[in-house]
Structure 1
Amino acid sequence: MKDIKKYGFVIFTFVLSAIGFLILINGVENGVDSANEYLSTLMGEGMDTDRFLILMKGYILSNFIFGGILLLVGLSFFCMSLYKLLKEIDLRD
């Protein structure tokens, strides 16, 4: 049961880092898609180009911030847990 906790946390942090990286890589596409989806929900009301560009930049920026936070937290905890795991292995030998 202890092994599941140790290796499970390492795997979880690695997955968290991978998700953050994927969000960063696809941030622009997801931001543009979110802005287009918002524009389509206006039900025929118009939006000028400047407002749409500001909205799109906001969605892109929020994707970058969210992906960056996930990547940073995931990598930080991954490095700490990997260090702790390797330190325990060295002490056993």
Structure 2
Amino acid sequence: MRPSQFGALHSDTGSRSSLGPAFGHSQGRYLLRFESLFHSGRGLSFPCDERGQVMLDLLSEQARDNYLFARAVVGHEYATPVVRRCDE
């Protein structure tokens, strides 16, 4: 797997992330969603397992930076993240 296969993007209407077909058994079925506190419908999402654990080694450099930023500003810029199934 190449890290460039995975990433998280800013989104106006929801979350988008590129999940590769070989992302892992449970890793590809869930997203950890950080919802913006100031811009309704915007946020960041990252592939995770059912417990919300993100495999940082599988994220692109930009996605990893976005994830670490989002975690650092929970309560200031983003709400506490929630785990969602990808099919929601």
For the criterion TM > 0.5, the same-fold answer is no
TM-score (norm 2): 0.25
TM-score normalised to structure 1 length = 0.24
**Larger helix proportion, structure 1 or 2?**
1
Give the structure with higher Rg (CA). Answer: 1
